[in-house]
């Protein structure tokens, strides 16, 4: 009887420890995400006052201009998330009408240190394209991003393109009809396009 009691207490202690470790892990993940967002916001806080101007230049009506004659050797970029989707990156989330997390992935030579340095605006409109439906009714999507690169001096578009991410998985491990499944994102393709337009060798 006593042996069974100690065995029960041991299993109970293990269970409590596992639950505590799970909560600590989740707390650490959320704390890390909050920390990364705070650091990102602090790094690019000088662009906050420029958001209204950037939003005005984010519409397709901005004329498309030939790349010839545009000075890009000393370009400094700001990247605006003009529209977000349900496949937001982690730990930095995308918010419509704010600076896109892709700013953190830019080559250092294109990252401005103040608002007056910004010469070029990259406008990203994220969306999702339905790619299929699973047996339980949940939907699979491909990520999509429309990109406009705008020269701030002339207020004209230098280039535009559209990119699609990968297909969602063909099968699901568990049934959840409210779940949205995505394939690989298209962030890397967008970044390569920006680098190509801006003349990175």
pLDDT in tens, 10-60: 765 676 665 555 555 544 444 555 677 888 889 999 999 999 999 998 876
| pLDDT confidence tier of residue 201, bands split at 50, 70 and 90 | very low
- Whether residue 53 is found in the same domain as residue 38: no
Q: Summarize pLDDT for 90-131 with one digit per residue, the tens.
A: 778 999 999 999 999 999 999 999 999 999 999 999 999 999
- Whether residue 12 is found in the same domain as residue 68: no
- Whether residue 6 is found in the same domain as residue 91: no
- Whether residue 37 is found in the same domain as residue 67: no
Q: Is the dihedral of CA 96, 51, 146, 75 positive or negative?
A: negative
Domain's final residue, options 28, 43, 58 = 43
pLDDT at residue 6 tops 80:
no
Burial zone of 189 (CB within 10 Å; 0-12 exposed, 13-18 middle, 19+ buried) = middle
Please state the domain count of the chain: 2
pLDDT of residue 194: 94
- Whether residue 13 is found in the same domain as residue 105: no
Coil/strand/helix, residue 140 = strand
Q: Summarize pLDDT for 135-151 with one digit per residue, the tens.
A: 888 899 999 999 999 99
- Whether residue 26 is found in the same domain as residue 63: no
- Whether residue 154 is found in the same domain as residue 80: yes
- Whether residue 90 is found in the same domain as residue 71: yes
pLDDT of residue 137: 84
- Whether residue 113 is found in the same domain as residue 35: no
Tell me the C-alpha to C-alpha distance, in Å, between residue 188 and each of 51, 125, 200: 24, 15, 15
- Whether residue 28 is found in the same domain as residue 121: no
- Whether residue 22 is found in the same domain as residue 103: no
- Whether residue 162 is found in the same domain as residue 117: yes
Higher pLDDT residue, 190 or 4? 190
Domain residues for the domain of 20 are 1-43
Backbone angles phi, psi at 35, to 5 degrees: -65, -45
**Global confidence as pTM:** 0.80
Which run of H or E residues covers position 116?
none
pLDDT of residue 136: 84
């Amino acid at each position: 009887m006593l042996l069974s009691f100690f065995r029960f207490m041991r299993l109970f202690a293990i269970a409590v420890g596992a639950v505590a470790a799970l909560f600590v892990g989740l707390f650490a993940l959320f704390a890390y995400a909050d920390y990364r967002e705070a650091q990102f916001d602090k790094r690019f806080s000088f662009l906050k006052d420029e958001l209204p101007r950037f939003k005005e230049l984010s519409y397709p009506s901005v004329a498309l201009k030939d790349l010839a004659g545009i000075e890009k050797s000393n370009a400094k970029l700001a990247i605006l998330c003009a529209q977000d989707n349900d496949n937001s990156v982690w730990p930095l989330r995308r918010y419509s009408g704010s600076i896109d997390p892709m700013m953190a992935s830019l080559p250092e030579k294109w990252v401005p240190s103040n608002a007056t340095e910004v010469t070029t605006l990259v406008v990203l409109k994220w969306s999702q394209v339905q790619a299929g439906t699973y047996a339980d009714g949940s939907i699979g999507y491909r990520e999509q991003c429309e990109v406009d690169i705008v020269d701030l001096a002339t207020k004209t578009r230098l280039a535009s393109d559209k990119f699609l991410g990968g297909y969602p998985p063909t099968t699901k491990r568990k049934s959840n009809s409210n779940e949205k499944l995505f394939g690989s994102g298209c962030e890397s393709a967008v970044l390569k396009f920006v680098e190509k337009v801006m003349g990175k060798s």
